[in-house]
Amino acid sequence: MTMYRTVRGMRDFLPADLAKRRFVEEKVRECFNLYGYDEVETPILESFDLISAKAGDEIRHRMYSFKDLGGRMVALRPEITPSIARVVANKLRTEVKPLKLGYIANCFRYDNPQMGRYREFWQAGFELFGSSHPVADAEVLAANNALMRRLGFTDFSIKIGHVAILRDVFTEESMTEADQNRLMEFMDKREQTKVFRLLSNLQVSDGCQTTMKELFTLRGTDWKRLLGKGRRILQHKEGALVALDHLEAIIGFARSLGVETEFFLDLGFARGLEYYTGMIFEVYVPGLDIALGGGGRYDRLVELFGGEPIPAVGCAPGIDRIALALEKKGLFPEQLTHVEKVLVIAIQEDLLPTALELASDLRKQGVAAHNEVTGRSLGSALSYADKKNYRYAVIVGSAELEKECVILRDLKAETQREVPITHLFTEIGQS
């Protein structure tokens, strides 16, 4: 007989694993609520063209794509931002702006399975449409920061950069968008040697080479000083200077919004997705060299999908990596799903109807009361209740029933006593 396994890179979420994911999701939903994001859901399957339009080569080549039976080229979504931009371009185009949409959804990428990298993973998302003001960028950072704090992280940092600086430097060299994207892709993967090799092949000016070398040195937590240095290096580049001012304003507003987290400015930082037009960021915790989440500004995606031009900024915290970091740092609460469970056991077969009714009545009052359903002995039923962390066992026996009572056994305290059926709910409810 064949013993089937999950497809490589796919995971089953057993109860304990799922409880961890749900814990993170619950915190995400608290932040949706606190920051005003309305949750939406879009299909797992999208048109290949929509998803690949600005995905970047790395993701484009790692998509699960295929022709459906109707001959359409489709793909399992590798991320959700294009789907949300599609919805805004199309179904929500007349909605009052700014519009804030949230999601929690699974994504698929044919990545090499390893720690923190799976072929099916979950992203949460905060997407804000209709503001180009730096305060919108700051608010997205604040929502992400709030999520990390609520999850219990105290020690994390936000790496921040701005793609318009790089685009400005590259555009001055009359570089095609495709070449710019290739450079950004190398930068995203921190492959500096490849960046400079490509710059040489493209025969950029010596000035451009020097600027890039200098930009790569501008990284650190001393962001005010680094921004000052950046202004000197980029002094004749108007777009880049505006971008630096934006970054300063964004960090300033984020501080006013209560973001005390360390900012790590990196002017040679790029992200693989090609739709970014402004500030970009990633969230890191010490000891884990992979980003827990990332995001940025993408002002032209909605119009690319046929909508009105609408500025947008957003982020996608990665649920799986957050769960991994919580685990590593021992930050998950000890008991993730704490429910006081009650097992109702009939001592004899003929008392089963009474036991079933009793459990049913308790459930009507909101108590997680379950019936013993195998017909096994009281001893085995109690040992099962113990192993499954039941708090109480309600034992229905004929002697007690004659007095309209049952035995209530406290499995934690290992004590038991007779309780009138009419008092059962109050007794359990008072624990």
Residues in touch with ligand AMP (CB under 6 A): 79, 109, 111, 116-118, 121, 123, 291-294, 316, 318, 320-321
Edge to edge, what strands does the sheet with 65-67 contain? Answer: 45-47, 73-76, 65-67
Helices (H), 120-160: 134-151
Nearer to ligand AMP, 167 or 321 (CB): 321
Nearer to ligand AMP, 230 or 278 (CB): 278
Nearer to ligand AMP, 270 or 345 (CB): 270
Nearer to ligand AMP, 25 or 111 (CB): 111
Report the C-alpha gap between 399 and 229 in whole angstroms: 86
Task: Give min distance, CB of 56 to ligand AMP, in A.
Answer: 9
- Closest by Cα among 280, 314, 391 to 129: 314
Task: Give min distance, CB of 253 to ligand AMP, in A.
Answer: 22
Nearer to ligand AMP, 119 or 391 (CB): 119
404 contacts: CB under 8 Å, gap ≥ 6: 420, 421, 422
- Closest by Cα among 214, 258, 250, 209 to 233: 214
DSSP state of 37: P
Spatial contact of 344 and 359, defined as CB atoms under 8 Å apart: yes
Strand partners, 103: 125
* Burial of 188 from C-beta contacts in 10 A (0-12 / 13-18 / 19+): middle
Nearer to ligand AMP, 268 or 318 (CB): 318
Spatial contact of 305 and 82, defined as CB atoms under 8 Å apart: yes
Task: Give min distance, CB of 110 to ligand AMP, in A.
Answer: 9
Residue 274: CB atoms within 10 Å: 22
Nearer to ligand AMP, 23 or 118 (CB): 118
Task: Give min distance, CB of 294 to ligand AMP, in A.
Answer: 4
Q: By three-state DSSP, how is residue 183 classified?
A: helix
Q: How far is residue 57 from each of residues 52, 173, 182, 271, 289, measured CA to CA in Å?
A: 9, 22, 8, 12, 22
Nearer to ligand AMP, 223 or 275 (CB): 275
Task: Give min distance, CB of 337 to ligand AMP, in A.
Answer: 24
Task: Give min distance, CB of 376 to ligand AMP, in A.
Answer: 43
Task: Give min distance, CB of 86 to ligand AMP, in A.
Answer: 16
* DSSP element (H, E) containing 27: helix 15-35
Helices (H), 342-409: 352-364, 378-387, 398-402
Task: Give min distance, CB of 318 to ligand AMP, in A.
Answer: 2
Task: Give min distance, CB of 105 to ligand AMP, in A.
Answer: 11
Residue of minimal Cβ distance to ligand AMP: 318
Nearer to ligand AMP, 79 or 266 (CB): 79
